[in-house]
Amino acid sequence: MTLTPHAVQASGLGRVKHLLLTESNQEGKMSALKLSGALLIVLAGWFIGFSVAEKFRLRPVQLRSLQSGLLMLQTEISYTATPLPEALSRVAERCDLSVQELFKGTAQKLMTRQGFTAAEAWNMTLKDWQLRVALMPSDVNILRNLGSVLGTSSREEQEKHLLLAREQLRQEEIKAEQERNKNETLWKYTGVLTSLLIVIILY
């Protein structure tokens, strides 16, 4: 069958339209992928920045809660002569939720009668608990040092160590508050701005 010039021209135009449509669809898919990728990068940057900023915000709050909990423990030991497991349990019932696990976990380990010393129970609980809070190694060291004397010295000596730990935590709180003021907002913006810069470079 012989095609007329008009039919040949129409066939050629059809192929061109098909190629243009295919190319347009591919470009549309690529644009959608780029947009999705850019959005994921921005969201990741925002999440990282917000997570770091949140740690700066939470650290002074948790340090204050620890000081309050240790004051309760000091009262239980010094003024009511409550046995340590019971004293820790009472503190856990009244302290802030962010630090409750430290006192509650230690009390539970001592009450199971598995032979743990107070220092062992405290430090075992501290090791797990520190992974879920915003404290710095310097804060944890203060608590670890306190744990080494819990239940192993006289009531007066334990009171002295509790007072020392509270004062050391108060000094750390002052520094943590200064760092929060300097870094909390900075990190919230840094995460987003850094991710936007990456998007600009990549796309």
Six-digit token string for 151: 């239940």
Q: Tens digit of pLDDT per residue, the chain (203 long)?
A: 554 554 444 454 455 455 545 555 566 566 777 777 777 877 877 788 788 888 999 999 999 999 999 999 999 988 888 899 999 999 999 999 999 999 999 999 999 878 899 999 999 999 999 999 999 999 999 999 999 888 877 888 889 999 999 999 999 999 999 998 888 777 777 767 777 777 677 66
Q: What is the pLDDT of residue 27?
A: 60
* Lookup result for tokens 């334990």: 158
Residues near 127 by beta carbon (within 8 Å), at least 6 away in sequence = none
- Tokens 């669809």 — which residue? 25
Whole-angstrom Cα distance, residue 135 to residue 173?
A: 10
Residue found under tokens 């850094």: 194
Cα–Cα distance, 65 to 198 (Å, whole number): 39
Rounded CA-CA distance 2/25 in Å is 34
| Domain residue ranges in the chain | 52-202
Place of tokens 């006289």: 154
Residue with token string 């010039």: 5
The answer to whether 168 and 142 are in contact (CB under 8 A) is yes
The Cα-based distances of 140 to 107, 123, 157, 160 in angstroms read: 19, 10, 21, 19
End-to-end CA distance of the chain: 51
